[in-house]
């Protein structure tokens, strides 16, 4: 459904499944291959192991995260192998999405709020540099917020609070775009407007 944008002056974007293509199953498969575990076992680990959330909220650093991976998966893989498996979920950022952001930035204040981490961030920032050599990822937005930096993950209300506070945003005039329904529901509960992005280009086709 096309959102009513008549009263909107700010848009907060998620990253995965919205700006960058996302295939979480690819990371599950990659970790299964290097560990010899089944994909179901790895999937269950990803859902229950607390260290994933600790990493995405900045409570542990890259080496500690990798140490937890090695211990949990019982592997002795080098850093680059673990990072490659962790980044396997991250796909392309088609140029037309960046071009759309460029257009929207002339009309709205644009922000990012993403549940992400340093290993992923380094990967997709390099990816943007390759397809947009004259403009960095951060330059497409008023400001970019990552969960690892703010210490909160969506759908916790605290994930949005720094954006709202830093820029004095009116929730009734702010649209939040995310591919996960639970995050949209949390945003709506805060008074934000929400658009559930079911396929990556949905927002490109309806946000004007």
pLDDT in tens, 101-158: 999 999 999 999 999 999 999 999 999 999 999 999 999 999 999 999 999 999 999 9
- Do 154 and 189 form a contact (C-beta atoms < 8 A)? no
Checking if the pLDDT of 165 tops 80, the result is yes
pLDDT in tens, 43-58: 999 999 999 999 999 9
CATH of domain 10-21+94-206: 3.40.50.1000
Q: Where are the domains of the chain?
A: 10-21+94-206, 24-87
pLDDT in tens, 61-106: 999 999 999 999 999 999 999 999 999 999 999 999 999 999 999 9
Checking if the pLDDT of 3 tops 90, the result is no
pLDDT for the residue numbered 173: 98
Token pair 């407007």 in the structure block, residue: 193
DSSP characters over 22-63: B-HHHHHHHHHHHH---HHHHHHHHHH-HHHHHHHTTSS-HH
What is the percentage of the chain residues whose pLDDT exceeds 90? 97
Distance between the two ends of the chain, CA-based, in angstroms?
14
Checking if the pLDDT of 164 tops 70, the result is yes
Asked whether the domain spanning 24-87 has the same topology as the one spanning 10-21+94-206, the reply is no
pLDDT for the residue numbered 1: 67
- Do 55 and 120 form a contact (C-beta atoms < 8 A)? no
List the structure tokens of 200.
Answer: 């990556």
CATH for 24-87, among 3.30.559.10, 2.40.170.20, 1.10.150.240, 3.30.2350.10?
1.10.150.240
- Closest residue by Cα to residue 154 from 182, 121, 190, 128: 182
pLDDT for the residue numbered 129: 94
CB-count burial class (<10 Å; 0-12, 13-18, 19+) for 113: buried
pLDDT for the residue numbered 187: 97
Read off the pTM.
0.94
């Amino acid at each position: 459904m096309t959102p009513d944008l008549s009263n909107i002056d700010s848009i907060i974007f998620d990253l995965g499944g919205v700006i960058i293509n996302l295939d979480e199953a690819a990371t599950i498969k990659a970790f299964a291959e290097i560990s010899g575990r089944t994909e179901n076992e790895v999937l269950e680990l990803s859902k229950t192991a607390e260290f994933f959330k600790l990493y995405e909220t900045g409570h542990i650093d890259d080496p500690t995260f990798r140490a937890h991976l090695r211990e949990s998966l019982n592997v002795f893989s080098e850093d680059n192998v673990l990072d490659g498996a962790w980044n396997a979920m991250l796909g392309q950022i088609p140029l037309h999405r960046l071009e759309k952001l460029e257009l929207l930035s002339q009309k709205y204040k644009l922000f990012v709020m993403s549940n992400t981490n340093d290993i992923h961030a380094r990967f997709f920032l390099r990816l943007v540099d390759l397809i947009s050599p004259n403009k960095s990822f951060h330059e497409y937005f008023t400001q970019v917020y990552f969960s690892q930096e703010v210490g909160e993950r969506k759908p916790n209300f605290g994930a949005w609070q720094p954006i709202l506070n830093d820029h004095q945003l009116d929730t009734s005039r702010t649209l939040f775009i995310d591919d996960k329904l639970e995050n949209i529901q949390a945003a709506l509960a805060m008074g934000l407007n929400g658009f559930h992005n079911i396929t990556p280009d949905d927002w490109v086709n309806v946000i004007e």
